[in-house]
Chains A and B, each alone.
Chain A
Amino acid sequence: MEELQQNLIPGAGFYQKHLGFEWGPGDLIVYETNYKLQGPRSAGSPSVHIVRRDEDICSPILRKLFSESHLIFVGLQKIKEDVPSKNKKSQFVSISKNYRSVIRACMEELQQNAVSTQSGSLASQYGDQVSILLAIELIWNLCEVLFIDAAPAGSLLLQLLDWVRLHKSDVDAKAREVLQSDSPAQHQSYWDVVISLVLQGRTDEARQVLSKQASLRAESSSVFKRMDGLLQTMPIFNPTGTQTLTEFEVKWRHWHEECDRCLQDNTFASNRHLETICKILVGDEDTLLEQKELLSTWYHFLVTRLLFTHPTIKPPDLHYYAQSSMNMFLGPRASPEPLDIILLSAFEFDLHQVIKDCSIALNNWWFVAHLTDLLDHCKLLQSHNLHFGSNLREFLVLEYASGLFTHHSLWQLAVDYFDHCPEFGRVYLELQIERVPLDTERKAIKVLRICEDRQMSEQVRSICKIMAKRALRNNRLGSALSWTIRAKDAAFATLISERFLQDYSNKGSFTDLDLLDNLGPAMLLSDSLTFLGKYREFHRLYGEKRFSEAARLLLSLMTAKIAPRSLWMTLLTDALPLLEQKEVIFSVDQTYELMSCLEELNSGTKHSNLTDQDEDIESTKTELLRLALARNLTMAIVKEGTIET
């Protein structure tokens, strides 16, 4: 098995030869250790090393690529199934073009950075990334032509020509340079430009440049006129026109024969450049191969060759020419690069091979995930059933999205990708969303909303519980309570209610009044919480001087057994100010009930852990209450027995 590069971690492996590790979110911790547990002790002070993929320089720009392609992805998923396929094809092509323009925009920005940066190493990093994106766009564009647009014979070649022209932009720059020079015809690159334009099938532009030459040499103008004529009459298939492919083919043959005749007649013998051009027009392979430097790639050679020998090439025949072109161009000794192999697989219409090779060669999930997703929508992939029943598209999208999830801000994009993976998206999302660090309340709420929208109730509960626990640890009872209510955790709610009550008995007042006043039905989550809410309501009623309502509530807390026994004394003590009001608040019946509560409390086992002093206080309280209750009773009896006049 071919060995991969070993990545060396500086500062490790000096004292101990084993490496321990632990996975982190998006990185790996590595440290020196010795698993054999015997041997020399560590001589120096050990370090831990945090290893991650390098993403410093290009990441802000790539981030744009990720977020913009995310929008395109989501839009693509929304395309309805029932739209007729012809309309869909144009939609898919336009989506493909969108993706490509996003790639190009990213490339341009990176290129600008590469040019403007001072540091040599940074420039080369930018440059590397640009090269990768160039390759990606090249492959994507070819896939668009061959698979998505699926151009038939005739249009196929035209689109391939466009493809080549787009990826060989140096011709335009050279042409401009030549034309803008003082004497274009004398420019050293003059003929290179003309030939390059011809090789790309840009006959009009070639004629324009040629005309600069013609104006100079009057005596050979007829030769130039002849060439101009050939170039002008070269038939170009018009897919939207009325001419059929067969008619075009006939026309083209005639023209081809005419070019050939010129060669046979030695028409251009006086000018070797023109002769070369004529040979190109005839599609002479050797001449084409001589232009290797201008063509620079075998696929340019392929397309040019087809242009001048077989312009009506049909898609299934493409691969034969592709293979032979590559062999001819590269020669016997050179071996094809991975990019070459990928392009060849595309020409052979072997989609799966393209995707597989891209995954390996590029090590790049963004590209294969989005391209495969688009191809899948075009129904071009037969789904290979994986061992757990998913398909290739889903596998790649899951891989890509999982990677996004480790990023501190891009993770939100990943959610949409998981949403559109029908088999495993949900379970992947459940697993990963729990790991998003809940740095702030706002972030926690954001994460929660995502889970709530998808009915991920266990994740909701867990996140709320974590937040509640954290709030409780930091003594923020109100926050803890609201998280607990959201988590619907009854046991924890009881705990927090008891802490509230404890706080109250220590401080004499409640905290977080807003929360307690507005509990609503959440109060029912646990008995302690219900009591807490009602107790606070009692205090509120008292504050608003709604004494009879307060009195009724207080009594019901005891008689309905909502209040825990331990707090009855506190409640009865709370009743004292109501008993000592000038007007009678508790009715006779209510007073009897209070009395029986007091007696019930006293008849229970005495707390043995009370000190003598405490016992004294308790009995004093009881006496006070008995007195107050008795007085209230008399006043109530009198009041209720009096007839109002």
Chain B
Amino acid sequence: MFVAKSIAADHKDLIHDVSYDFHGRRMATCSSDQSVKVWDKGDDGEWHCTASWKTHSGSVWRVTWAHPEFGQVLASCSFDRTAAVWEEIVGESNDKQRGQSHWIKRTTLVDSRTSVTDVKFAPKHMGLMLTTCSADGVVRIYEAPDVMNLSQWSLQHEISCKLSCSCISWNPSSSRAHPPMIAVGSDDSNITYSGKVQIYEYNENTRKYAKAETLMTVTDPVHDITFAPNLGRSFHVLAIATKDVRIFKLIPMRRESANSSGPTKFEVQVMAQFDSHNSQVWRVSWNITSTLLASSGDDGCVRLWKANYMDNWKCTGILRGDGSPVNGSGHAAALSAVGVPVAAQMVVGAASAGRLKHSMLQYFY
């Protein structure tokens, strides 16, 4: 059914984030041991660590890849109040033979006065832009005007959210129908400002980001937030990790032609809400085609959610650690399954009496 293969990550402390590159052939991990590791998938399908270096003087919270159009570029953010941009340089030939590559720091962004909690690149059609958010409640948007020179970044926008920020997500859509949009989540326990998700939109006229929407119904701390890929819809879909998993639909309302100066107004609907984790939800993430949403919670489970063609959402899979120490064999091991078997199993004829497992005709995507 499911198979899992372990790779010894060799970090000396907790891993906080793992990020695949755009094509899924490289991976970066970051840890409380202050380092980042880069892994490459070989032709044999095995992952090899090709770089490992100290990046910050504190725990590294997140790591993310830039679009490959900009080259091999990583950004990391840390408890040490900085974010950094790294570029891979093509090394000596013997390095290549040993399967090692070098990453050098192109810039350090030191504007934050507190721990930097998230770092994300903006969609590529906006150029090479990096965004950070910090516990000091400020979202900062930087731009590298010359994409060939990654040591020059200028701080283009500072958005003050009034609440300690924990996560950001750009709307990945490059449609000209709407301006750039970024969602910011806050894990602040402040009750004065109750809406913990804010949506900012870029205004062509003022050349600034203005708040378009606050999701007032999200009153608990938000730990993760993510826009779904757009896929030709006229509305936006945003998933939020808070005390439960919530999926919002943001429908842009038509502007009256006279008043086109303010940010877009949205009609906000809740598409789905799941409290199956029964506890805090820490991460949410869409797969590439936005056909599946995964969430991870305090209950130690990763759950997969899917909408059918009638837009009814259901849980389609659960993953959990088995609580055993690492086996370290590196072989793909089938995952044992526990719990009440799903009633939907097939029995065919009297010939095969056993219950059938899920078909392999279903790919995991």
Contacts and interface: CB of A to CB of B under 8 A. Distances in A.
A binds B: yes
Nearest to B330: A47
B357 interface: yes
A407 B363 contact: yes
B80 to A, nearest CB: 14
A412 interface: no
B4 interface: yes
B276 A1 contact: yes
A131 B319 contact: no
Contacts of B350: 296-297
Contacts of A138: 348
Interface in A1-17: 1-17
B337 A30 contact: no
Contacts of B6: 10-11, 47-50
Interface string B216-242: 000000010000011111100000000
B104 interface: no
B347 interface: yes
A167 to B, nearest CB: 7
B288 interface: yes
Interface stretch (A255-263, A358-366, A538-546): A358-366
Given A135-B348, A364-B362, A402-B365, A14 B311 contact: no
B297 to A, nearest CB: 8
B335 A23 contact: no
Nearest to A340: B347
A8 B361 contact: no
Nearest to A11: B326
A5 B342 contact: yes
B178 interface: no
Nearest to B27: A29
A402 B18 CA distance: 24
B223 to A, nearest CB: 7
Contacts of A465: 69
A424 interface: yes
Nearest to B350: A296
Interface in B34-92: 47, 59, 68-72, 90
A636 B276 CA distance: 93
B10 interface: yes
B13 to A, nearest CB: 5
Interface stretch (B194-202, B253-261, B298-306): B298-306
Contact of B320 (A9, A365, A367): A9
Interface in B131-168: 148
A54 B288 CA distance: 20
Chain A, interface SS category: mixed
B231 A52 contact: no
A135 B70 contact: no
B2 A424 contact: no
B361 A367 contact: yes
B337 A6 contact: yes
B16 A20 contact: yes
A561 interface: no
A168 B351 CA distance: 10
Interface string A44-59: 1111111111111011
A420 B342 CA distance: 34
B27 A51 contact: no
A51 B316 CA distance: 15
Interface stretch (A154-162, A211-219, A431-439, A562-570): A431-439
A13 B10 CA distance: 17
Contact of A33 (B16, B19, B68, B294): B16
A379 interface: no
Interface of A: 1-35, 37, 41-42, 44-56, 58-59, 62, 65, 124, 127-129, 131-132, 134-135, 138, 167-168, 170, 296-297, 337-339, 356, 359-367, 384, 386-388, 392, 395-396, 399, 402-407, 423-424, 427-428, 431-432, 434-439, 458, 462, 465-466, 469-470, 473-475, 495
Given A3-B339, A438-B23, 11 more contacts: A10-B335, A11-B321, A13-B300, A14-B321, A46-B15, A47-B7, A135-B346, A170-B351, A362-B359, A365-B361, A428-B231
29 contacts: A1-B315, A3-B340, A4-B318, A7-B336, A11-B6, A11-B328, A16-B14, A20-B18, A20-B283, A21-B283, A23-B287, A25-B23, A31-B18, A46-B14, A47-B6, A48-B15, A49-B4, A54-B1, A54-B3, A168-B349, A338-B343, A338-B344, A427-B230, A428-B289, A431-B231, A436-B23, A437-B25, A470-B68, A475-B90
Of all A-B residue pairs in the complex, the 9 with the closest CB atoms, nearest first, are A13-B321, A12-B321, A403-B363, A25-B24, A53-B364, A8-B322, A427-B232, A35-B282, A11-B326
